[in-house]
Chain A
Amino acid sequence: AQSVTQLDSQVPVFEEAPVELRCNYSSSVSVYLFWYVQYPNQGLQLLLKYLSGSTLVKGINGFEAEFNKSQTSFHLRKPSVHISDTAEYFCAGNSGNTPLVFGKGTRLSVIA
């Protein structure tokens, strides 16, 4: 069975500093990976996805992620964060056209 682990429950970072949110997955079959962002009392917004091809994936709002098969990771990065990036971030995966399995989320707090 597939599982997704987000290693940090909370990440505080100063404004304009870089950030990395970590995500590891386990799966014995093909894996597709996604990052979503959730602002308070809202649904999930898709940031980026890895389906195939280039392992470096660029998403919205300046975020990117790298699929690393040998380390079974899909870490999310942004070179310079803004106050508006404060939110909950979820890593998720599936084996293709199946329900998503989510990590527990990482709360990113950007400090002015």
Chain B
Amino acid sequence: DTGVSQDPRHKITKRGQNVTFRCDPISEHNRLYWYRQTLGQGPEFLTYFQNEAQLEKSRLLSDRFSAERPKGSFSTLEIQRTEQGDSAMYLCASSQLQREVSDTQYFGPGTRLTVL
């Protein structure tokens, strides 16, 4: 299996601009998660999908953030009108839903966003 891939790896933008990140999960994985990690902290959950359905959104996900997974494969995360506080590493993870125990999430390399 190829792993989870994310594009771009780095993004520098000016405050007020829109940015979009892409995540390609491990093939056949039906779950896809987005997390945000700020400096010196552990990742924090943003949102997740099962196939193309968005199942849950964190309170961290303001209305400037939107995520899609239109065909149940890759996903995009868009941030509109970026703010300096959006600067962080955005991590994507994928997994296969399990019946008896928990799924195991595999992470991509992340997209580091810097808002100037």
Complex-state Cα separation, A95 to B43, whole angstroms: 17
Size category, A interface: 20 to 34
Q: Are B107 and A105 in contact (CB-based, < 8 A)?
A: no
Q: Which residue of B lies closest to A95 (CB)?
A: B102
Query: Is the CB of A100 closer than 8 A to any CB of chain B?
Result: yes
**Count the A-B residue pairs with Cβ separation under 8 angstroms: how many?**
67
Complex-state Cα separation, A34 to B41, whole angstroms: 17
Q: Which DSSP category, helix, strand, loop or mixed, fits chain B's interface?
A: loop
Q: Are A36 and B107 in contact (CB-based, < 8 A)?
A: yes
Interface size for B (C-beta < 8 A) is 30
Q: Are A44 and B103 in contact (CB-based, < 8 A)?
A: no
CB distance from A35 to the nearest CB of B (A): 12
Query: Is the CB of A73 closer than 8 A to any CB of chain B?
Result: no
Complex-state Cα separation, A92 to B37, whole angstroms: 14
Which among A45, A97, A103 is the interface contact of B103 at CB below 8 angstroms? Answer: A97
A44-B91, A102-B43 known; A96-B101 Cβ under 8 A: yes
Residues from chain B with Cβ under 8 Å of A92 in the complex: 42
Residues from chain B with Cβ under 8 Å of A103 in the complex: 42
Chain A residues within 8 Å of B, Cβ to Cβ: 32, 34, 36, 41-46, 49, 51-52, 90, 92, 94-105
Chain B residues within 8 Å of A, Cβ to Cβ: 4, 6, 31, 33, 35, 40-45, 48, 56, 58, 91, 93, 97-98, 100-110, 112
Closest 4 CB pairs of A and B: A102-B42, A32-B102, A99-B45, A51-B101
